[in-house]
Structure 1
Amino acid sequence: MRLRSLLFVPGDRSERFAKAAASGADALILDLEDSVAPSRKAAARAAVAAFLAEPRTLPLLVRVNPLGSDYLDDDLAAAAGADGLMLPKAEGAASIEALGSRTDLAILPVATETPAAMFQLGTYAIVARRLLGLTWGAEDLPAAIGASTSREADGRYT
């Protein structure tokens, strides 16, 4: 699977799914994590599961809630028809093995969202067969270490 460009779409905004699919992105990330308020999680899961059941023209991944989250089991059920999962706040091979024990889907970890994750980057080689690649998160790590922001006022990353 070639993943040069990934377009995130909030899972509770089903009216955006078709337009996003026509955007030219290599894959869509249907988001059940940060872009969905807790009160909208169930509706988002239903919308994502319905969209995954439709014919598709590009890979569809689902960003589930992190390991240990109360939402993860329901997220995995909704994402059963996906081409892969995005795992936020992954902390190396142990996170991939933990999620991999619960699903056969390929995994795209967000590898840089916690301080502990930074020290586990080398361990992903152990679980490379389960991975779609690695990606990074620019917002959670600065927040975790007390940085004020990772973006300039115009939206560019610092």
Structure 2
Amino acid sequence: MTAQPRPLRSVLYIPGSKPRALVKAKSLATDAIIFDLEDAVAPDEKAAARELLVKALDEGGYGARVKIVRINALSTPWGLADAQAARDMGADAVLLPKVDGPADLDALAELIGDVPLWAMMETPLGMLNASQIAAHPCCHGMVMGTNDLAKDMNARHRADRLPLMTGLGLCVLAAKAHGVAIIDGVYNAFKDEEGLAAECAQGRDMGFDGKTLIHPAQLDIANTAYSPSPSDLELAARQIEAYEAAVAQGQAVAVVDGRIVENLHVATARETLAKMDAIQALAAE
């Protein structure tokens, strides 16, 4: 069974300017943390937040959680200093906001060398260039910035996110085509558990690897939505067993619950089981 990449079901934003939040994040059940130096930090706190984050990451204690630092755009007064600091923070990746095209990643890569890059996908131009961004040799992940995208599109908020579907779909396709992680945007109403669960289910159905979150209260819902359910695991095991039995009898397909099972379905079933193995391994670390 092929090992799954490290799970990214839940990706929690933590303000780089909040010492208590930086400490609390060490004990939260989040698969990844985005340490934010951009939107979550006021302009007059930018420099102090950068220094605080350098110290926090140097102290460590975040375990197996994927550590991602979101810097300010290089066009801002803080972007260059953020990039230079992030280069040596020991994070797993640096997240660049408002990526319009691969040239934006080129500019950051020149500053930080071989540190993996992630791209915030939050502009109309970024949607149109999603494939080229995902294909960048330094790009390891993409994060949807749905609030900024909706603003730039002058789109209205809808529970079904219909105005954003083209952009969301383009980014999922780009990420899957080039083998990079793809994380859905935030759900703003952090007390609306039903709405969050529905949006997580939609994102999972579309093929997203996980969801960005703005509050720890959202973690359980995202982790559950992006984990294989007991019925998923049971069906996967039965599909593999039935297919292997069919192959042993010289047949190319099997039937499970009245549905044809071919090798492509078995590949998906094996990925489902491997994903659960990776989730359990993460929980044990």
What TM-score do you get using the length of structure 1 for normalisation?
A: 0.86
Q: Note closer, same or farther for the CA distance 1:14–1:150 as it changes in structure 2 (3 Å cut).
A: farther
1:84 partner amino acid: A
Equivalent residue number for residue 65 of structure 1: 72
Equivalent residue number for residue 139 of structure 1: 147
Matched, 1:49 2:54: yes
Task: Say if 2:54 and 2:85, in contact at 8 Å, map to a contact too.
Answer: yes
Report percent identity of matched pairs. 34
Q: Note closer, same or farther for the CA distance 1:69–1:54 as it changes in structure 2 (3 Å cut).
A: same
User: Residues 58-78 of structure 1, C-alpha deviation per residue, up to 9 Å, x if partnerless?
Assistant: 332110011311111111233
Q: Note closer, same or farther for the CA distance 1:21–1:131 as it changes in structure 2 (3 Å cut).
A: farther
Measured in 1, the distance between the counterparts of 2:41 and 2:23 equals 18
Structure 1 residue runs of 5 or longer lacking an equivalent are none
Equivalent residue number for residue 103 of structure 1: 112
1:144 partner amino acid: D
Matched, 1:5 2:10: yes
User: Residues 100-158 of structure 1, C-alpha deviation per residue, up to 9 Å, x if partnerless?
Assistant: 111121111112x111111101102431x312221211100111122354679x83489
2:147 partner amino acid: E
Measured in 2, the distance between the counterparts of 1:23 and 1:59 equals 12
Equivalent residue number for residue 192 of structure 2: none
- Partner of 1:109, secondary structure, is strand
User: Residues 26-48 of structure 1, C-alpha deviation per residue, up to 9 Å, x if partnerless?
Assistant: 22111000010101111111110
Name the count of aligned residue pairs. Answer: 155
Structure 2 residue runs of 5 or longer lacking an equivalent are 161-187, 190-194, 200-285
Equivalent residue number for residue 38 of structure 1: 43
Which structure has more RCO (C-alpha within 8 Å, separation ≥ 6)?
2
Segments ≥4 residues shifted beyond 6 Å: none
Measured in 1, the distance between the counterparts of 2:107 and 2:147 equals 24
The within-5 A match list for 1:65-104 is 65-79=72-86, 80-81=88-89, 82-104=91-113
1:32 partner amino acid: L
Larger Rg: 2
- Partner of 1:78, secondary structure, is helix
Q: CA deviation at 1:55?
A: 2.6
Matched, 1:22 2:31: no
Measured in 2, the distance between the counterparts of 1:118 and 1:76 equals 24
Task: Say if 2:41 and 2:49, in contact at 8 Å, map to a contact too.
Answer: yes
What TM-score do you get using the length of structure 2 for normalisation?
A: 0.50
Measured in 2, the distance between the counterparts of 1:71 and 1:62 equals 14
